[in-house]
Structure 1
């Protein structure tokens, strides 16, 4: 791998130290996941540590949706689902939220107001069918199914206060095959259903190779086979990516990193896998060991759409916050930098996002280093969420290069913010000890 200059290595070290604190306390503004509208790749929504960022023009213009406007507070969805009809849904880890006007108005589903919606899965071809897992301690949790596009929900597993579910996934090649990971008094387990959730087989995951305590969380199912799936484990400061080729009966370790594994993606044929941590994006091809890619080398995430791979990056390290690759991550085309966000999302006057976000934008803009110091989120009438003319985003940045000058993206303010963040986190930890 290409050697980074000393000051970049310092910044990476600081980013790594900040990773755990950022998950719990907000940390630096960063992108965390990316989703595309089904059937229309010109619409993108990017989850972030400071809310969400949305584009309606293939990534030319990006606008901010504040968490207050969404009603999610500090809860961050692992992913968004932007449906064909335009609705956007997400399981935040707390509530199940939905927007039917392009991200301007968000509502929480009452079924999950007393529990935690930990994961959402949507049928690959019939968007009326959805699944949600819940995982709030000391509350009766289950795997829920909707057959009316998320309006009503029915538990598919007997609700049980001793069980917490973390993730549900649908096999793209056979949507009747479902997987759900969870935890109860007996340990970690994987549930598998071959009949769309009508019945389930429990597959215990003792994993004796790991020292306790550890977790076990389902990640994804291959598009090529319903029997091929991946899960992640965190134990004693290390993360592991596990693969099964027999429907979850057995798992084999394919990656070990001294970092937080935040997500994974796989190619359509199942022969290439990407694993994302806050520092690197790893790639493994059939017959090859999984190894880190040169970029992104900060705040990695991965999402594939057809033959295009999207990846989150850290604007504090190599300028771009989101990029796409057409060669499986070997080279990247930057889509936007955090400082290029053109203000809050364009919404109608009466919408929660329009009421909450513009007043907060100047402070966010200062943090991001945005040249748009005053908000440009002018109401757009009844067409909530559609960018108006003259949004004026600066062109995409050039591909990242080496060096440590301010022009190459390593601004002194970034190091200062990182250092202050570390200091604040250390003081919090010391206060808890005292």
Structure 2
């Protein structure tokens, strides 16, 4: 069977199992991307969180390779976002541990300072990523805000540290980095807190949410790039997400948009006037004061990240071929970076590191699910280069250098050529009977889609 058809048949099987009345969402129990980050100062380095570990690119998105969750060691606490420092250190708050990789994704450990609490949010200074903040939210202990001035090596508690307080998010204002916002709850009251002096003192507010029925899970999600007093928060109520905006540093919140979906994240234009929002099924764009319009792409796990004038968006390979794409026209059109079927085996790491020792043996099973190249060695052995016929060092020289094996976009030795494009796996919203027909017929037809570099 053509490996490109395997994901479609697996999706068809899943849909049939769910029943005709279900909706074909790209996240329906299948492998997906969930967040994206670029290494500071190195736009050629991508790190993409997924439901099956993570994938990494060291060559501007031309090739992506897999990091298995067993080697990363996050267990059931999958990170919602990663931070890749310019030095090469990768950090993530998992909701339990503070996860870190000092060597560009090959080795992972948990920071021992937070072994007795749960790290629920992480943020960095916009121009000096040695300055980091985390918040904690474990029950029955004192929670609060912690700050590091050395890139996450050592941490100190801020004065905001008390029992019954549980915090879920932290954001540092890019307009004025000494302004820090955090969110959470205490004794059932939803709170926003701000510091004007990098965490030394705090002002607390409890915004009026009486218009919502039993609101919960208030979280600060973005700050305005040019105005220190403007922030955005989301709050849940009766199965919907309410995106709110504050123009007075969190004292009051005004509704921007009600979204009947699960909020993933948002980003803003450089002037703060345009907002993009990704949800579990859709992608929205509009004025940052609202309302927002739903765009046709991406669909499924639609995360968003703005870097300069470029947007990066997660999407569902199962619905529109690509798992990550970029846009230079504010999300109107997208250029695919990769689909899950294009992952080129496991991350190239030195022997003796967890990713190199654990992940290759797990790759063939995942590759079958994705329709990706079936490298028997996990793709870690780099094919000879055309220039000298030798085999480059498969290890990563250091955390700050591009992956020496990144140009390996071809199949492993003795393997047939991997898929160069996708036949697609289109699905329709609503009643699933037409979708099931498509799921079995579309793999038999070439839809003419090709990857655009």
TM-score, length-scaled by structure 1: 0.85
In structure 1, distance between residues paired with 2:280 and 2:396:
39
Alignment gaps of 5+ in structure 1 = 1-6, 405-409, 416-434
Identify if the C-alpha distance between structure 1 residues 361 and 395 changes in structure 2 by more than 3 Å, giving closer, same or farther. Answer: closer
Identify if the C-alpha distance between structure 1 residues 163 and 296 changes in structure 2 by more than 3 Å, giving closer, same or farther. Answer: same
**Match of residue 254 from structure 2:** 252
Q: Secondary structure at the match of 2:363?
A: helix
**Match of residue 376 from structure 1:** 379
Tell me how far 1:159 sits from its aligned partner. 2.9
Identify if the C-alpha distance between structure 1 residues 403 and 28 changes in structure 2 by more than 3 Å, giving closer, same or farther. Answer: closer
Match of 2:409 among 376, 380, 392: 392
Alignment of 1:198-213 (within 5 A): 198-213=200-215
Name the structure with the higher helix share: 1
In structure 2, distance between residues paired with 1:76 and 1:412:
33
2:395–2:404 CA contact under 8 A, matched in 1: no
Tell me how far 1:305 sits from its aligned partner. 0.2
Match of 2:351 among 343, 349, 352: 349
In structure 1, distance between residues paired with 2:159 and 2:336:
44
Q: Highest CA radius of gyration, 1 or 2?
A: 2
In structure 1, distance between residues paired with 2:163 and 2:73:
26
**Match of residue 427 from structure 1:** none
**Match of residue 422 from structure 1:** none
Alignment of 1:263-412 (within 5 A): 263-285=265-287, 289-374=291-376, 375-378=378-381, 380-381=394-395, 383=397, 386-388=403-405, 391-392=408-409, 397=421, 411-412=439-440
Tell me how far 1:227 sits from its aligned partner. 0.9
**Match of residue 23 from structure 2:** 14
1:67–1:74 CA contact under 8 A, matched in 2: no
**Match of residue 73 from structure 1:** 75
**Match of residue 242 from structure 2:** 240
Alignment gaps of 5+ in structure 2 = 1-11, 382-392, 411-417, 429-437, 444-453
1:336–1:396 CA contact under 8 A, matched in 2: no
In structure 2, distance between residues paired with 1:38 and 1:324:
18
Of structures 1 and 2, the one with the larger relative CO (CA 8 A, separation 6+) is 2
2:397–2:404 CA contact under 8 A, matched in 1: no
In structure 1, distance between residues paired with 2:201 and 2:420:
49
* Per-residue CA distance 1:139-178 (angstroms, 9 max, x = gap): 2211101111111111113433311100010000100000
Q: Does 1:62 align with 2:64?
A: yes
In structure 1, distance between residues paired with 2:442 and 2:71:
27
Alpha-carbon RMSD across the aligned residues, in angstroms, is 2.7
Identify if the C-alpha distance between structure 1 residues 131 and 399 changes in structure 2 by more than 3 Å, giving closer, same or farther. Answer: farther
In structure 1, distance between residues paired with 2:305 and 2:369:
27
Identify if the C-alpha distance between structure 1 residues 412 and 205 changes in structure 2 by more than 3 Å, giving closer, same or farther. Answer: farther
1:12–1:279 CA contact under 8 A, matched in 2: no
Q: Does 1:83 align with 2:92?
A: no
1:12–1:298 CA contact under 8 A, matched in 2: no
In structure 2, distance between residues paired with 1:142 and 1:389:
41
In structure 1, distance between residues paired with 2:68 and 2:95:
17
In structure 2, distance between residues paired with 1:414 and 1:168:
45
Moved more, 292-301 or 204-213: 204-213
Alignment of 1:59-138 (within 5 A): 59-138=61-140
**Match of residue 6 from structure 2:** none
* Per-residue CA distance 1:363-409 (angstroms, 9 max, x = gap): 111111213343102372462672416512579758989788xxxxx
Identify if the C-alpha distance between structure 1 residues 56 and 85 changes in structure 2 by more than 3 Å, giving closer, same or farther. Answer: same
Q: Secondary structure at the match of 2:185?
A: strand
* Per-residue CA distance 1:225-268 (angstroms, 9 max, x = gap): 11111101111111111011111111111111211111111111
**Match of residue 428 from structure 1:** none
Tell me how far 1:48 sits from its aligned partner. 0.5
Tell me how far 1:284 sits from its aligned partner. 0.8
Tell me how far 1:84 sits from its aligned partner. 1.1
The aligned length equals 396
Q: Secondary structure at the match of 1:215?
A: strand
TM-score, length-scaled by structure 2: 0.82
In structure 2, distance between residues paired with 1:343 and 1:366:
12
